[in-house]
Amino acid sequence: MNDLIDNNTGKAFPPPAVFAGYIFLVLSPVAIYSNPFVGLLLALAGGFVSFTSTGVQIDPSKRKFREYTSYFGVKKGLWQTLDKYPFLAIMGRTQSYTTYSRGQVALTDREKFIDICLLSKSHRQNVMIKRLRDRDQATKDAKELAEKLNLELTKYNPPVSKKTQAKHR
């Protein structure tokens, strides 16, 4: 039985680039009629940008994981041991994209996510293994993952150095 956990964490490129990739895909059949080389190049570039994604695979039986990038369905990434990450945490994150143009100063898009992350002992290193929008679902999934991976579900709390503490006083 293969108990591999596979979580796709999203597109590898920002939304404006993915949108441009879809436009290239739509324009490629038209370009193929005028110049087959340019049309195929547009289709390849559009497909690459539109469909390249990232994710994390976890093999609980071997206590290993890998962060991967999927190119046209082929997953590439190095396997690492879970021993460096004894904790699992739920972290709120905001992701923003800014698009600049000549006619308009900037267009910023912000999205809020709830990430389930592997944490190192010091909480200084983390690996996002799942991204959700609903906190209740994230809590439920984190408890299931902690049980499957035999990890402690904890609150993200990195140590703060005395130098940093002095700056905040």
Parallel, antiparallel or unpaired: strands 87-99 and 152-154: parallel
pTM of the model as a whole? 0.77
Give the number of C-alpha atoms closer than 13 A to the C-alpha of residue 48, restricted to the C-beta side.
6
Instruction: Tell me how crowded residue 146 is: count the other CB atoms within 10 A of its CB.
Output: 17
Q: What is the pLDDT of residues 121-164, one digit of tens each?
A: 888 888 999 988 888 999 999 999 999 888 888 888 777 777 77
Write down the domain spans for the chain: 85-152
Q: What is the pLDDT of residues 77-115, one digit of tens each?
A: 999 999 999 999 999 888 776 777 676 666 677 778 889
CA 29 remoteness from chain centre? 31
Q: What is the pLDDT of residues 1-24, one digit of tens each?
A: 468 889 888 899 988 889 999 999
